[in-house]
Chain A
């Protein structure tokens, strides 16, 4: 890897000036490297982080079949990484005009990394630096513990999608003045709801009462409020005191749970394993926002590289070259989904909506299709609106909120289905639906979403760890269950159970599909897997 030459760097700096003028914001420094194929061979298993820890699997061909992107929720071939300064990678033979386009695209990403709030937890440190120290930790441990470090790495990586990314993120946004006392939290969150099971109306009245108390006396309001509470519920204080002694147990973040609660990991001789788990967990959480903003991030970068390139005075004469590459990047495929194309079109739509004022109450109360179509309040707030969305949205909300019938009609979007024609024995690709709701659901269903697996400590018998998979319409990859549970059992130091749902496909004999009448249906059954002494058992509930 070597840095780009001064000539190319000057182009990049020119791009930065123009991008800033257009409203993008990012740190001053950036590093651009030329990468060869050889570099890529080393970089891609390390998800483009040059300083990532070493692990033997990086040197082996990894089978990537089922659920590849669920398995590796970070792109191994990203052009720019979210570090301080941001690092981006280039071929050595790009012509200048192409570099201009790529630079704008990269600046779009950098702006997104540094302003989108889902990346908030990555803003205060440089991940390559962090990774380097982690790499040294792992290397040092490996020198002491040998192959056992790799086993722990393996087991940790096998659960690195079960981390509490959102739990990590939300405290960062808690305004200090919004913090409430733990007594108050207990009273409203647990005491009234869980213990007293207050009806909603009563509950809201209680909230109002509290707000009144605060409004009347800012300093002493809470004290006065609780004085009344104690009069009404004398047991409240005792319950609260008791609850303070109960340690909060992690339920969503399996890695954190193991680090905090595994007796096996707590033993003196196993303490080091926690560091390995920490490294893997931190790495996973660092990458989480990336995959949750793919459509937005690519759409944002494509939107800006188009806009900025077209007005860049340095690249005159290459409009056609640009058009060809740009169309390749952002054209909507006849069948399939292109995040660049989809994201960019949505960005344009939102910009237009903002400019015409189609974002407010005035517009949203209209129900007449024609009126909606021709609505134009000429508010000119497109850019402001767009930048706000860039900061506050992730893919899920972006798609859920903004894919509407106007959008899908405008770009002729539809859901493509694939079905079997049993008479002619062909797979047919067909226009399944042009309804925006269906389109939206289809996109939402294809977004990254790790299984929701919760730890239920109260259900584990005799030291067992009990995991509950909350079924969301998709079963787990069954081939992977055994080995994943071997790892968890090892880290927990005792048997592990997983409750999940599995498909039962009724295979009717004789209905070869020729008649096509009796379509086999999927029914779901709840099962429990038990991993004990590395032996897996399955039991139907």
Chain B
């Protein structure tokens, strides 16, 4: 692991505006992370309110029964139909699908994608308080005033089990199964576009019809060469061809069975495979909503591709701060976090390396989706752009999602992508979507349309 402090010093030596340096330092300190401090910590009851206690749980050990989501999937079409009708009637949509929910007891749950909704009311917001202040609750037992009775790290590298939507330990398989369903929903209900055919490689399983099969005796088109060969064969076996050097075709005996015809037949087309690289910035600045947004969008893109390629999708997950690493599954991809700096080029480079080493470009449609908050220590994209150009030489589509923090605008990544001219020159290959960190699900889906259409 590169030491970000040293790296920052190097950058500084090369000349860095004080404003940006301050921002990088802030990122290293991870100060933005304060907003997501509701993890469990040493006292799980801390954020459990008075009203979370109920008789069935405390007296009869009956925990909240998770909804049997699979049952609801059947009703999903109906729900979405209702939701589209809502839109026609002039009200905002209410159903969300891209949510991951962790049912079951304890920490070990599965990730499933379920339709969900929210009921809005005028409510007091308990979470507004000065930064650095974590709220208060009751306590009992020993301890002087001011005494610290427990601690919890603000920043934890690695797995981060949590509660609420969008978190949980998952099994890749389970994820895959319902992701396909989600992909179908996204395609059909949200009118996400189907993939465009690209060259010979077609995107879904289909059959073509061609005169490829041969049949003796009857058929559509006579295969003259094959028929002649057959006739020669027959005549040799009949002894009707004494001297191969001196052939007289007029004396050939021709049996009806010798005629070879070509007939129409169903052929399975080349079934293409897709390889999707998901890249995500997991540096300190990515805390909170930004990560959730990027991950939600990536789940949806993954689902959509899975459906488009009839399950023939392989995905690779890459996380980066100033260095990039590949992680084995979506769950790790989603839940990991460090507090390093940011260097987008590292991730692009890793993609290039993997593609080259495994010779993927020849066999796969390659997609690269990158999610970031737009921060990059690499000023002007000096390192990123060359790697990006390399990626563009083989990908079917690359999509960069920038989820901007509140108050930031025109981020580093957005700027150098724009300046490079690649967005203009290769709109078929490279797309960028900038959204605000508070974006709604509808906006996320809209973003996918922009990235893939």
A339 touches B130 (CB 8 A): no
In angstroms, Cα B62 to Cα A89, docked, is 11
| Contacts A336-B138, A420-B132, A513-B131 given; does A429 touch B59 at CB 8 Å | no
Residues in B neighbouring A159, C-beta threshold 8 A: 121-122
In angstroms, Cα B142 to Cα A457, docked, is 54
Residues in A neighbouring B248, C-beta threshold 8 A: none
| Contacts A151-B91, A519-B132 given; does A427 touch B41 at CB 8 Å | yes
Name the one of A59, A91, A413, A484 contacting B60, with C-beta atoms under 8 angstroms.
A91
A78 touches B143 (CB 8 A): no
Residues in A neighbouring B123, C-beta threshold 8 A: 66-67, 70-71, 161, 450-451, 476-477, 480
B13 at the interface (CB under 8 A from A): no
Q: Which of B144-152, B187-195, B216-224 lies at the interface?
A: B144-152
A147 touches B85 (CB 8 A): yes
Nearest residue (CB) in A for B440 is A479
Contact with A along B123-135 (1 / 0, CB 8 A): 1111111111111
Q: Which of B63-71, B174-182, B253-261, B356-364 lies at the interface?
A: B63-71
| Contacts A69-B49, A329-B59, A335-B46 given; does A481 touch B122 at CB 8 Å | yes
Q: Which of A190-198, A386-394, A502-510 lies at the interface?
A: A502-510
B340 at the interface (CB under 8 A from A): no
| Contacts A329-B58, A477-B123 given; does A521 touch B49 at CB 8 Å | no
Query: Which residues of chain A from 444 to 460 have a CB within 8 Å of any chain B CB?
Result: 446-451, 453
Q: How large is the interface on B (under 10, 10 to 19, 20 to 34, 35 or more residues)?
A: 35 or more
In angstroms, Cα B136 to Cα A418, docked, is 6
Query: Which residues of chain A from 427 to 468 have a CB within 8 Å of any chain B CB?
Result: 427-434, 439, 442-443, 446-451, 453
A335 touches B137 (CB 8 A): yes
B196 at the interface (CB under 8 A from A): no
In angstroms, Cα B41 to Cα A40, docked, is 31
Q: Which of B30-38, B273-281, B445-453 lies at the interface?
A: B30-38
B142 touches A412 (CB 8 A): yes
B130 touches A519 (CB 8 A): yes
A513 touches B56 (CB 8 A): no
Name the one of B117, B150, B164 contacting A335, with C-beta atoms under 8 angstroms.
B150
In angstroms, Cα B95 to Cα A333, docked, is 38
Residues in A neighbouring B67, C-beta threshold 8 A: 41, 61
Nearest residue (CB) in B for A416 is B139
B165 → chain A, closest Cβ, in Å?
Answer: 6
B122 touches A469 (CB 8 A): yes
| Contacts A63-B118, A416-B149 given; does A80 touch B55 at CB 8 Å | yes
| Contacts A147-B85, A427-B152 given; does A336 touch B48 at CB 8 Å | yes
A90 touches B121 (CB 8 A): no
A364 at the interface (CB under 8 A from B): no
| Contacts A57-B119, A329-B58 given; does A431 touch B147 at CB 8 Å | yes
| Contacts A337-B137, A427-B151 given; does A158 touch B121 at CB 8 Å | yes
Name the one of B49, B60, B116, B132 contacting A61, with C-beta atoms under 8 angstroms.
B116
Query: Which residues of chain B from 16 to 57 have a CB within 8 Å of any chain A CB?
Result: 22, 25-26, 29-31, 34, 37, 41-43, 45-46, 48-57
In angstroms, Cα B435 to Cα A508, docked, is 24
Name the one of B65, B94, B126, B144 contacting A431, with C-beta atoms under 8 angstroms.
B144
Nearest residue (CB) in B for A469 is B122
Residues in A neighbouring B132, C-beta threshold 8 A: 419-420, 422, 513, 516, 519-520
In angstroms, Cα B59 to Cα A91, docked, is 10
| Contacts A147-B85, A425-B30, A426-B152 given; does A534 touch B90 at CB 8 Å | yes
Nearest residue (CB) in B for A430 is B148
A162 at the interface (CB under 8 A from B): yes
B89 at the interface (CB under 8 A from A): yes
A446 touches B137 (CB 8 A): yes
In angstroms, Cα B305 to Cα A19, docked, is 64
Contact with B along A486-518 (1 / 0, CB 8 A): 100000000000100001010101101110100
| Contacts A336-B43, A413-B138, A431-B147 given; does A147 touch B127 at CB 8 Å | no
Contact with B along A401-433 (1 / 0, CB 8 A): 000000000011111111111100111111111
In angstroms, Cα B55 to Cα A303, docked, is 14
B72 touches A60 (CB 8 A): yes
In angstroms, Cα B129 to Cα A519, docked, is 12
Q: Give the interface centre of A101, A418, A422, A513 by most chain B CB atoms within 10 Å.
A: A418
Name the one of A91, A429, A509 contacting B41, with C-beta atoms under 8 angstroms.
A429
Query: Which residues of chain B from 399 to 438 have a CB within 8 Å of any chain A CB?
Result: 407, 438
A338 at the interface (CB under 8 A from B): yes
Nearest residue (CB) in A for B124 is A474
A161 touches B122 (CB 8 A): yes
B145 touches A446 (CB 8 A): no
Q: Which of A179-187, A220-228, A290-298, A376-384 lies at the interface?
A: A290-298
Residues in A neighbouring B57, C-beta threshold 8 A: 77
Name the one of B49, B141, B150, B152 contacting A412, with C-beta atoms under 8 angstroms.
B141
B165 touches A63 (CB 8 A): yes
B72 touches A426 (CB 8 A): no
Residues in B neighbouring A483, C-beta threshold 8 A: 92, 120
Name the one of A298, A479, A481, A498 contacting B53, with C-beta atoms under 8 angstroms.
A298
A367 at the interface (CB under 8 A from B): no
B19 → chain A, closest Cβ, in Å?
Answer: 8
A453 → chain B, closest Cβ, in Å?
Answer: 6
In angstroms, Cα B123 to Cα A480, docked, is 8
Name the one of B42, B52, B124, B138 contacting A451, with C-beta atoms under 8 angstroms.
B124
B82 at the interface (CB under 8 A from A): yes
In angstroms, Cα B133 to Cα A422, docked, is 11
B138 touches A416 (CB 8 A): yes
| Contacts A332-B140, A513-B29 given; does A503 touch B128 at CB 8 Å | yes
A417 → chain B, closest Cβ, in Å?
Answer: 5
24 residue pairs bridging A and B, Cβ less than 8 Å apart: A60-B117, A61-B101, A63-B116, A79-B55, A157-B121, A158-B120, A159-B121, A162-B122, A333-B140, A412-B140, A415-B139, A417-B134, A418-B136, A426-B151, A426-B154, A429-B43, A429-B152, A432-B145, A442-B138, A475-B128, A476-B122, A481-B120, A510-B22, A512-B26
Q: Point out residues on A near B: beta carbons under 8 Å.
A: 37, 40-41, 44, 56-57, 59-63, 65-71, 75-80, 89-91, 94, 98, 101-102, 105, 109, 147, 151, 154, 157-162, 291, 294-295, 298, 325, 328-329, 332-340, 342, 411-422, 425-434, 439, 442-443, 446-451, 453, 469, 472, 474-484, 486, 498, 503, 505, 507, 509-510, 512-514, 516, 519-522, 534
Given contacts A101-B59, A413-B140, A448-B51, 7 further A-B contacts (CB under 8 A): A40-B62, A77-B54, A334-B43, A337-B137, A420-B131, A427-B37, A428-B148
Q: Point out residues on B near A: beta carbons under 8 Å.
A: 22, 25-26, 29-31, 34, 37, 41-43, 45-46, 48-62, 64-65, 67-69, 72, 75, 79, 82, 85-86, 89-92, 94-96, 99, 101, 114-155, 164-165, 407, 438
Ranked nearest first, the 9 interchain pairs of A and B with the lowest CB-CB distance are A336-B45, A418-B134, A79-B55, A480-B120, A69-B51, A416-B139, A335-B43, A474-B124, A332-B140
